[in-house]
A and B are shown apart, each in its own frame.
Chain A
C-alpha cells in the first residue's frame, strides 16, 4: 500500500507545468478565440514532441506504455492553465478507447492506422458519447469515434456532419455530430460496444475531474493575488476574514478532491469498466469544488469579476462546462447512490481501496 506519486511522476509534472505556464497564458488563450481554428499549432507540436500523445499507448503498439496515474497530474496542470485544446481528452479518453478496441480484438483496419497517426502526431481523433450533447474542437478532428445505440463507429471526418453550437466558454468550440450509420465504420457493437462506452464514460469523467481540480487551483491563485493587491479602507481586501474564509472553503474542497481523483486514476488504470464508484466520486467532488471556486472567486473579484476583461472568466466558464460534461453531480451521485443500496456493496473502512486491495496479487495470480 503506497498512495504516493513517484519522484519521476512529480518531476515530469513540474516540467510540464513550467512549460504550460509559459506557453499557455491568458493572452494566448484570448488569441485562440480570434484564430480560425482555435488551435495553437506550435503548442500542440511541442506537446507531441514531449511524448504526451503516446503516453497511454502500450509499448507493443509503439507508445510509452504508461498509466492514467502517470498522466493524472499532467491533466491537472492542463486544467490549471485552462488549456483550450482538448489534449487531456485525446490522451486520456480517445486514444485509450482506440487501444481498448484493439485489445479486445475488435475494430477494423482503420483502428491501427488511426493509432499510428496519433503516435506520429499527424491525426487527431474526436470522441462522442451519448452523455454529452456536443463534441469540443470537433472541427479540427480527422477522425471520429461515435456511438449509435450500443454500437461504436470509427469514421473519417468526411462521413460526419457537424452543426455548430456556441458555448458560454469562448475557448470551447462545440459541434453536434451526426452520421449515416454504416457497417463499414462499425468497430464494436452489442455488449462489447456498451462496455466500450461505459469505459469511455469513466475515462471522460476522470479527465474532466482532473482538469476541474486544476481549474480550481488556477482560480484560487488569481483570487489570492488580486485580493492581496486590491486595497479598500486602507488595506488589502484579502486581509478581511470574510474574504479569507470564502477562499479557504474552496481550498478545503480542492484538497479533498485530489486524493479521490488519484484513487479513480489508479482504478481506471486497473479496469475502466469497474471504476464507476471511484470515478463518480472523483467527478462529483471535483465538479463541486470547481463550481464553488468559480462562485467564491468571482465574489472576491467584486465588479471586476463580472467583466469580459477579467481573465477569471476563462477559468470560471470552463468550470461551468466541465462540471457538467461527462455527467453532472446529480448523475454521478446517483451512480453512487445505486451502488450504496446494492445488497452486496462492500461498505466500511476496510474497503477504501476496494476488494482487490485485500487480495494479494501473488495469490490472485
Chain B
C-alpha cells in the first residue's frame, strides 16, 4: 500500500489540469436534452477527442492514451474540479465502448470506435421494454435473421439520449422460440433507419432525456450484431457489471458536489436552525470520500491483475443514496428558495444547479437496476442468501 501519487501521475494531473483550464467552455452549455445543447455538447466531445482526452483509458489507436485506471481517476478528478460539461457521449464511451473492445470484430471496432470517440456518432441505450424493466430477461423486441440482415420489430422504452442520438445499442430476441435470457443478441441500430420512430418522453424536469423507440420492420446488416447470436445476455451482464462496477459514476463527481455543499453550508449554515443539517453535511463529505476510497481500492486491485468482485454490486446503492442526501441537504440549506429555477447569472450565483441535481438524483436509485434489485443481488450473490 502506497498512498502517494507517483511523479508520473502528478505530471499527468498537471497536464490534464492545464488542458482543461485552456479548453473548458467558460459559458455554461445548455442542457444536452435540448437540440441546441445536444450539439453544443457534441462539439465539446469533438474538442476532447482532438486533444485525445475523450477516453483516456482507450488505446492510442482509438484516440485514447492507454491510461490505467488510477490515471482515469485522476483525469476524472480534474474533470469535475474544472467544472467541465457533462458527457453526452457517456452511453458510448463508458457502456458500449468497453463491450466493443472486448467482443467486437476488428472490422466492427474500426467502424464504430473512432466515430464514437470523435463524437460524430452519439449512442442511446435500448435495454428496457414496456414489459421488461427490472425483469430484463422478459425482452420481446424481435430481430429476425433474413439473409445478411436482421429485421427488427417491437418497442424499447426509457432509452436515454435517444431523442437526439445517432445510434442505439440494445438487446433483441433473435431466437423467436427462446425464453428468458436465452436467444437474446446485442445489436447496433442507426436511429435514422427506415421504420424507426422515436417518441420523446419528457423527464421530471420537462426535457426529453429519454424516449420510446418503435421498430417497424427495421432492417440492419448482420454486421451490426455484436458478439455471437444468442450471446446478448452474457455480454449485457458484462456491460451492466462494468456500469455498476466502476465507471458509471466516478467518485470525483460526488466529491466535487460535496465540496460545493460544504461551501454552501459555510455560506448559509448560520441561517439554518435545523441541527441535523450539520450532521448531513458531514455525512455527505465522508460518504463521497468513502466512495472514492472504495473506487481507488478496486482500481488498484484491477491494476495489479485482480478482478472486480461481487461486492461491487454495493456501489450503486451507495452512490445513489449519497447523491440524494447531498442534494436534499443543499435544498434544505437553500430553504424556501430551493424551488426557484435559476435563469439569470445572478440566480445561478445564488442558487447554483442544486435543483437540477436534486431532480436528477431522484433517478439514481431507479436506473441501471433499481436499488431493490441491487439489494436482492447483494443478498443472493454477495451474502449467499437463498433465492427461493
Contacts and interface: CB of A to CB of B under 8 A. Distances in A.
Interface of A: 1-6, 69, 220, 224, 227-228, 235-236, 238-239, 241, 243-245, 247-249, 251-252, 255-260, 262-263, 266, 281, 284-285, 333, 336-337, 340-341, 347-350, 352-353, 356-362
Interface in B268-325: 278-279, 281-283, 285-287, 289-294, 296-297, 299-301, 303-304, 306, 311, 314, 317-318
Interface residues of B, number: 63
A340 B375 contact: no
Nearest to A264: B293
A224 B382 CA distance: 11
B383 A2 contact: no
12 contacts: A3-B300, A239-B388, A244-B376, A248-B375, A256-B294, A256-B314, A263-B293, A281-B290, A340-B282, A347-B259, A349-B251, A353-B4
Contact of A349 (B255, B294, B385): B255
B5 A357 contact: yes
Contacts of B382: 248, 251
Given A239-B386, A357-B5, A340 B285 contact: yes
- Main SS of the interface on chain B? helix
B111 interface: no
B386 to A, nearest CB: 5
A256 B322 CA distance: 12
Contact of A1 (B81, B278, B296): B296
B252 A349 contact: yes
Given A220-B383, A256-B290, A260-B289, 7 more contacts: A1-B2, A243-B385, A247-B379, A281-B290, A349-B76, A349-B77, A352-B77
Contact of B290 (A220, A257, A360, A362): A257
Interface stretch (B7-15, B86-94, B174-182, B327-335): B7-15
A348 B81 contact: yes
Interface string B346-388: 0000000000000000000000000010111011101111111
- Best-surrounded residue of A2, A241, A243, A247 (most CB of chain B within 10 A): A2
B80 interface: yes
B262 interface: yes
Nearest to A269: B1
A220 B251 CA distance: 27
B3 interface: yes
B296 to A, nearest CB: 5
Interface string B64-97: 0000001000001110110000000000000000
A349 B292 contact: yes
Interface in B192-243: none
Nearest to A224: B383
A350 B301 contact: no
B372 A285 contact: no
A333 B287 CA distance: 12
Contacts of A285: 286, 290
Nearest to B377: A248
B118 interface: no
Contacts of B9: 1
A238 B385 contact: yes
A108 to B, nearest CB: 36
Contact of B289 (A220, A341, A352, A361): A352
B190 to A, nearest CB: 37
B57 interface: no
B26 interface: no
B285 A336 contact: yes
- Best-surrounded residue of A220, A255, A257 (most CB of chain B within 10 A): A255
A239 B3 contact: no
Interface in B1-58: 1-7, 9-10, 13
Contacts of B376: 241, 244-245, 248
B383 A247 contact: yes
Nearest to B296: A3
Contacts of B299: 3
B5 A4 contact: no
A259 B297 contact: yes
B266 interface: yes
